[in-house]
Homo-oligomer: A and B are copies of this chain.
Amino acid sequence: MILSSGGIDSTTAMAIAKSEGFEIYSLTFDYGQRHAAELEAARNVALALGATRHLVVRIDLGAIGGSALTADIAVPRGRSESAMQSAIPVTYVPARNTIFLSCALAWAEVLEAADLFIGVNAVDYSGYPDCRPEYIRAFEAMANLAIKAAVEGTLKIAIRTPLIRMTKAGIIRAGAALGVDYSLTRSCYDPDARGRACGDCDSCLLRKKGFREAGIPDPTIYAR
């Protein structure tokens, strides 16, 4: 099972899981995000990579608030890399990976799937605490105490993070080598009315830099 956002990281992680021989169950969340275009991207990626199932779970994180991605807070634009790394930005969604991994854990138990892939990386990231290796290990330990199948010994959950030590450029090179079509993916936090990537949110800036450093043409059409 893989948490898929339709972005570069989860798509590359999905391609890696497939290359390792895993059957793919793709899990995406409709959580009231501004960038609902990612739901379409996630579906297209699941189809392109031959997923056995693609499940979209609705959860109303907007009711909880606290993020520029779900509430009416402006998405930061045109920030330098040092500015991005100096503080956790307003695009941080409280406990997002924890909520997503918890739902993945529930589906994993239903499917009897032991391997949960998540495309976090702790290098070219936006400073989110729930992308760090120590967080992932703590989640995995908790997961194996949380569910019936783990307690009964029939399922041992492993949280797999194949990208955790990779740079964005390294991720793109790895995916390109596996034949990933990145034109299917979406990264922008705040696409325009025509669905075009804005080009200057943190996520667009990291995406542009990744393709540039990987020496691979960026297939994205940016508004700016």
B-binding residues in A (CB < 8 A): 55-61, 63-66, 88, 92-99, 102-103, 105-107, 109-110, 128-130, 132, 134-135, 138-139, 141-143, 145-148, 150-152
Contacts and interface: CB of A to CB of B under 8 A. Distances in A.
How would you classify the secondary structure of chain A's contact residues: helix, strand, loop or mixed?
Answer: helix
A143 to B, nearest CB: 7
B146 A95 contact: yes
Nearest to A138: B142
A135 B129 contact: no
Nearest to A110: B66
A33 to B, nearest CB: 14
B64 A110 contact: yes
Nearest to A144: B138
A142 B141 contact: yes
B148 A92 contact: yes
A109 B94 contact: yes
